[in-house]
Amino acid sequence: MPYEWVQPDGPDAPKAELHLWPYRSLPRRGFVWIMGMGFGLMLLPLLGVVGTMALWGLLPFGLAALGALWFFIEKSYKDGEILEELRIWPDHMTLTRHGPRGDLQEWEANPYWVTVHLHKNGGPIPDYVTLKGNGREVELGAFLSEEERPALHDELSQRLVELRSY
DSSP 102-123: S-EEEEEE-TTT-EEEEESSSS
Summarize pLDDT for 56-88 with one digit per residue, the tens.
Answer: 999 999 999 999 999 999 999 888 889 999 999
Q: How far is CA 51 from CA 46, 47, 56, 60, 133, in A?
A: 10, 9, 9, 16, 70
- Mean pLDDT computed over 9-36: 92
Q: Sorting pLDDT into bands at 50, 70 and 90, what band is 166?
A: low
Supply the pTM of this predicted model: 0.79
In whole angstroms, how far apart are CA 134 and each of 98, 109, 154? 21, 5, 21
Residue 1 has pLDDT above 70, yes or no: no
The chain-wide mean pLDDT, for the chain, equals 92
pLDDT of residue 6: 92
> Where in the chain are the domains?
3-24+85-164, 28-79
CATH fold label, 3-24+85-164: PH-domain like (2.30.29)
**Given a cut of 80, is residue 165 above it in pLDDT?**
no
Q: How does residue 102 score in pLDDT terms, banded at 50, 70 and 90?
A: confident
Residues 42-64 have a mean pLDDT of 93
